[in-house]
Amino acid sequence: MTRVEFDSTKKPLDDLLKRARDGLLQLPDFQRGWVWDDDGLRGLLTSISRSFPVGAIMTLQAGGEVRFKPRLVEGAPEENAKIAPEALILDGQQRITSLFQTTMRRGVVETINSKKQRIKRFFYIDMAKALDDGVDRFEAIIGVPENKKETRNFGKEIVRDLSTEEEEYAQCMFPTNRIFDADAWQMGFFKFWKDDLADKSDFWFRFQNEVLAAFRQYQMPVIQLGNGTSREAVCLVFEKVNTGGKKLDAFELLTAIYAGEEEGFLLRERWAECAKRMSNSIAIREHPLTRLQPTEFFQALALLHTLDRRKEVTAANPDAELPPVTCTRETVLGIPLGAYKKHSSRLEEGFTKAGRFLFSQHIYWFKDVPYQSQIVPLAAILAELGDKWEFDAVRSKLAQWYWCGVFGELYGGAIETRFAKDLVDMLSWISGGPEPTTVKDAAFRAERLDTMTSRLSAAYKGVNALLMKEGARDFRSGQPFNQASYFEEAVDIHHIFPRAWCDKSKLSPKQYDTIVNKTPLSYKTNRAIGGDAPSRYLAGLSKQGGADELAINDHLRSHLINPDLLRADDFDNFIAARREALLTLIERAMGKVVYRGESTDEPEGEIIVDEVDARELA
């Protein structure tokens, strides 16, 4: 449940900065680093000196459900890292750190200039300019290099030298890092100007009352989240207020949460090791698991965790209302560290099996995966099935479910609810229960083939994989497209009637650029085809390789191509025949009849796939 407890107040700026120095106010470890530039720092100091609002900060009270790993505000004494913070800054890190760096620390401020170059600066207030109403306050606040000397003419001429306190006094340049501790500097200033003490005393006290007092009296609005606020609420609130920064995903937030719950628990390092093992589980680079994101892993983990809770409730009371199986972002953020430890190893194995399953469907490359998202429920299902997935009947159901998702194009939108139903439905179906919702929902219309023109389409990728799975062989070499040849021969989807020939024949891209006129071919074969008419390039392939027409015709049929129509350069009849053959191929994969527009009713029944060979239709 998302719970938010908060209070609004104002706190003195110097109190907030001192608490940051002492380690009582820290940052959650997932916060990005401090990044304000030189002009930004001067602008912030200007605003505070004029008592202008600079926005509120938001803090989270420590000691509640959310235990982020804390870290000090940048520049705070390292020995204070051992201090247990009273609160963490969720919003306002950049402002608090900038003010801490420029007003509380004696050290040089490491920042960047307008060209994003790293520089080191000490900041000063030109006291005379600050008291001059005719001067923009921004111009009164300056930054000088680390040696406190401004030069020109390549360093040959010194423009300003503030390298000693006497020079600061003489030029009436007040260091901003003395704003909250000015007594010693004030005494030095009076001593330096002892011969003109009356005039300089008035000058000093005016500066103190009109400029320094603004810093010392400044009240910063603070929104305080109570320690009763749920972790989901904390993370959601953080994202809402952190619009100017990089959006944090659930994995980054869980990394900070787990590190705060168990000393030395480094989720990021564990994920890196897990990802490496999964990448190495298949001896092919850039296979589907190499692009798996940690957020996807945790979505699957949430499915297993919530399914586990459902099992526990059922075991305790079969008549009780069952908790939902879900993997919403809120659920992911609520995964306990114990659940991660319990399920992560078998889920890793589930994803590894998912990679093997995709290979069995001739999906070898991460770019050829129809829906990356569908790997999430697939891995969770395989993790639950264990060794059961090795049985042929189970694999057949997995394949049917998978291709129904692809050709039904069911995984392109908000899909967390489908993930959960997939897991529950598939486990039930494999155990003899009813057909899953994904299989029931899936429908493919024949005219969809006529619009599938690019790799961006999941169904487009699906047809390519099915052709290779069906046993398609390269036109030139006759080699099947297994995982070795796929990469060695640089296999990709290419036109059967070449684009150049189609353009010359006055065909529109709408006619020739669909998946119906494309098929998997090796790089060399596509080069050999060039832009010639099929009759010509097929004759050339036969002549170059010494293969007879019958052998090449057999290769063509393996792609569901009618050789006679292709050799006759009969584009229209070729398209019609191959279109029907591809529809039959899709029907076999989905186990459902494709809607061809022959009636007003959508088909609902299963298709008997064993008696149909799509090659016969070609």
Are the beta carbons of 127 and 207 closer than 8 angstroms? yes
CA angle 251, 254, 259 (to 5 degrees): 130
Q: What are phi and psi of 140, to 5 degrees?
A: -85, -15
How many angstroms separate the CA atoms of 193 and 200, rounded?
7
Q: Predicted confidence band at 463 (pLDDT cuts at 50, 70, 90)?
A: very high
Same domain for 593 and 480: yes
Domain match, 300 and 269 both: yes
Q: Above 70 in pLDDT, residue 2? A: no
The answer to whether residues 468 and 606 belong to one domain is yes
In the listed set 399, 415, 442, which residue is the last one of a domain according to the structure?
A: 442
256 within domain boundaries? no
- CA angle in degrees (0–180, nearest 5) for 236-239-244: 165
Instruction: Determine the pLDDT at residue 173.
Output: 97
> Which tens digit of pLDDT belongs to each residue from 236-292?
776 666 655 455 678 888 888 888 788 788 898 999 999 999 999 887 778 999 999
Specify the pLDDT at position 32: 62
Task: Report pLDDT digits (tens) over 87-133.
Answer: 999 888 889 999 999 999 999 999 988 888 899 999 999 999 999 99
Q: Which tokens in the block code for residue 246?
A: 């990089």
Residue type, 601: D
Position 600 confidence tier, pLDDT thresholds 50, 70, 90: very low
Q: Are residues 146 and 20 in the same domain?
A: no
Which residue among 197, 229, 252 closes a domain? 197
What pLDDT shows up at residue 31? 63
Whether 248 is covered by a domain: the verdict is: no
> pLDDT digit string (tens) for 557-597?
999 999 999 999 999 999 999 999 999 999 999 999 999 87
pTM: 0.74
Q: Is the pLDDT of residue 611 over 60?
A: no
Do 413 and 456 reside in the same domain of the chain?
no
Beta strands in 466-612 (DSSP E): 492-495, 518-521
Residue 205 belongs to a domain: no
Task: Give the distance from CA 282 to its chain's centroid.
Answer: 24
State the residue for tokens 């890092």: 177
pLDDT of residue 96: 94
Q: Which residues are CB-neighbours of 45 under 8 A, at least 6 positions away?
A: 99, 102, 103, 123, 125, 141, 176
The pLDDT of residue 325 is above 80: yes
Query: Is 132 found in the same domain as 72?
Result: no
> Is 60 exceeded by the pLDDT of residue 431?
yes
Q: How far apart are CA 132 and CA 253, in angstroms?
A: 48
pLDDT tens-place string over residues 369-425: 999 999 999 999 999 999 999 999 999 999 999 999 999 999 987 789 999 999 999
pLDDT tens-place string over residues 19-74: 999 999 999 876 666 778 899 999 999 999 999 999 999 999 988 877 888 889 99
Question: Which pLDDT tens digit goes with each residue over 508-525?
Answer: 999 999 999 999 999 999
Same domain? 310 vs 427: yes
Residue 208 lies in a domain: no
Mean pLDDT of 490-509: 95
- 498 pLDDT band, cuts 50/70/90, is very high
**180/216 Cα distance (integer angstroms):** 7
Choose one of 398, 425, 442: the last residue of a domain.
442
Averaged pLDDT, 78-92: 92
Backbone angles phi, psi at 273, to 5 degrees: -70, -40
Counted domains in the chain: 4
Q: Are 26 and 97 in contact (CB under 8 A)?
A: no
Spell out the residues 6+ positions from residue 348 whose beta carbon is closer than 8 angstroms to its own: 274, 277, 278
Average pLDDT, the chain: 90
Is pLDDT of 605 > 60?
A: no
Residues 17 and 57 in one domain: yes
Backbone angles phi, psi at 439, to 5 degrees: -70, -40
The pLDDT of 283-306, averaged and rounded, is: 92
Q: Please indicate, yes or no, whether residues 304 and 437 belong to a single structural domain of this protein.
A: yes
Domain presence at residue 207: no
Residue 188 confidence (pLDDT) = 96
pLDDT tens column, 121-176: 999 999 999 999 999 999 999 999 999 999 888 878 898 999 999 999 999 999 99
User: Does residue 472 lie within any of the structural domains?
Assistant: yes
Q: Is residue 246, in this structure, part of any structural domain at all?
A: no
**In this predicted structure, what is the pLDDT of residue 5?**
73
Range of the domain at 522: 447-617
Give one word for 539, left, alpha or beta, with left for phi > 0 and alpha for psi -120 to 50: alpha
Same domain, 463 and 607: yes
Looking at the structure, do residues 433 and 453 belong to the same domain, yes or no?
no
**CA-closest candidate to residue 36, choices 78, 105, 92, 76:** 92
What pLDDT is attached to residue 227?
85
Residues 141 and 188 in one domain: yes
Examine residue 209 and state whether it is found in any structural domain, yes or no. no
> Could you tell me the two tokens for 323?
């908790």
